Structure 1
């Protein structure tokens, strides 16, 4: 009698049957295994973004240390002068929000960069640059504000709200009292921006914004 070769699968079944075993039957509801592979380019972009954020925070920390050292050496009159006030320190009511900047987008502009009229004055400066309180008041909000990015709101005694937007870091918390020229955060590019800058808004009684440039000029400053 001729021996007919059996397929390997039949031989395996025969061997298992001889041993009193059986092949496991496949589950009807078993889902096929899917191999998920991350796009290498996407992973590289995410890693680069994390590195940029880490470098910005490191720079902000160094700038805060330098600012604290400078304040200790200079005294109040010199600090106020750094932020635009050259008069009697006892009569100061407001200062500029940055020691070094370039004025960029102004109040009331319209265009594709904004959903509505531009409600503030932009001060372009490197990420991590120290931002100070333009006037004394109480911090009433700190947090992410959508298109405004990381925003700090300081409410002045007369009810005026001053918004500091797009920050990398905030150095104050809600409920904290701040004096003129106290550090409150650092320049960044969080939210909807085309680059690092401070977006400053002034809102009397917490209502519609007014031109921050005119408001600062009215306080005796030259932005």
Structure 2
């Protein structure tokens, strides 16, 4: 038995003949390294369409980003003219216009008013843009007699802001306006002796208060 085992281990390995090796299928490059992943035919057309769609989508996003940047740059510039240079995310209130000087003050008496003056006048060139002093809803827009063309905004706390003697209004009742949004153009309509904004501040359930200390309480310096 031992001899048989030795003989079995010493037997030569059977190798394929040269003819068998020649006739055996030879792996090509794709078989050896894996199947090719290069698309062709319909697959290539589909890939090209998807690439073009992706390029168009990226171009659209780029154009939207450019327009957004322009809008934000204009907003920053407008707010800087109104005296605000902080971050847009921190903005809560702004002055109602830029490039003005204060004229008739609150409580002032004279022939132009039936009683004491109920607001603060901001004199500026005709057509000067006036803006929302805070986030608000437009309550009314229209002719208000001696007040001329008037827009009334109601702030989030219920305070009414009256913009009087306007040349033109840019908003309509029911509109929601964010702080700093243009709402009209300064004018001289109604009982007015020159181009100016008559600004009135009316807290909820109360009559008009002096706009100057009200603005100062918001860290605004008229």
Q: Could you tell me the TM-score, scaled by structure 2's length?
A: 0.66
> What per-residue deviation string (whole Å, max 9, x for no partner) do you get for residues 13-59 of structure 1?
xxxxxxxxxxxxxxxxxxxxxxxxxxxxxxxxxxxxxxxxxxxxxxx
Alignment check: 8 A CA contact 1:80 1:89 kept? no
3-state DSSP class of the match of 1:142?
A: strand
Tell me by how many angstroms 1:153 deviates: 0.2
3-state DSSP class of the match of 1:205?
A: coil
My pick for the range that moved more, 183-192 or 78-87, is: 78-87
Q: How many residues align?
A: 153
State how 1:120-199 maps to structure 2 within 5 Å: 120-199=119-198
Tell me by how many angstroms 1:73 deviates: 7.1
In structure 2, C-alpha distance between the alignment counterparts of 1:157 and 1:207, rounded to whole Å: 16
5+ long unaligned stretches in structure 1: 1-70
> What per-residue deviation string (whole Å, max 9, x for no partner) do you get for residues 193-223 of structure 1?
0101000000001530111111111111111
3-state DSSP class of the match of 2:169?
A: coil
Q: Could you tell me the TM-score, scaled by structure 1's length?
A: 0.65
> What per-residue deviation string (whole Å, max 9, x for no partner) do you get for residues 69-114 of structure 1?
xx73734433322212233322222111112111101111111121
Tell me by how many angstroms 1:123 deviates: 0.4
> Which protein has the larger Cα radius of gyration, Structure 1 or Structure 2?
2
3-state DSSP class of the match of 2:200?
A: strand
State how 1:1-223 maps to structure 2 within 5 Å: 72=71, 74-205=73-204, 207-223=206-222
In structure 2, C-alpha distance between the alignment counterparts of 1:206 and 1:151, rounded to whole Å: 20
Over aligned residue pairs, what C-alpha RMSD do you find? 1.4
In structure 2, relative to structure 1, the CA distance for the partners of 1:206 and 1:200 (3 Å cut) is farther
Alignment check: 8 A CA contact 1:161 1:206 kept? no
5+ long unaligned stretches in structure 2: 1-69
> What per-residue deviation string (whole Å, max 9, x for no partner) do you get for residues 94-153 of structure 1?
111112111101111111121111111100011111111111100000000000000000
In structure 2, C-alpha distance between the alignment counterparts of 1:77 and 1:170, rounded to whole Å: 22
3-state DSSP class of the match of 1:155?
A: strand
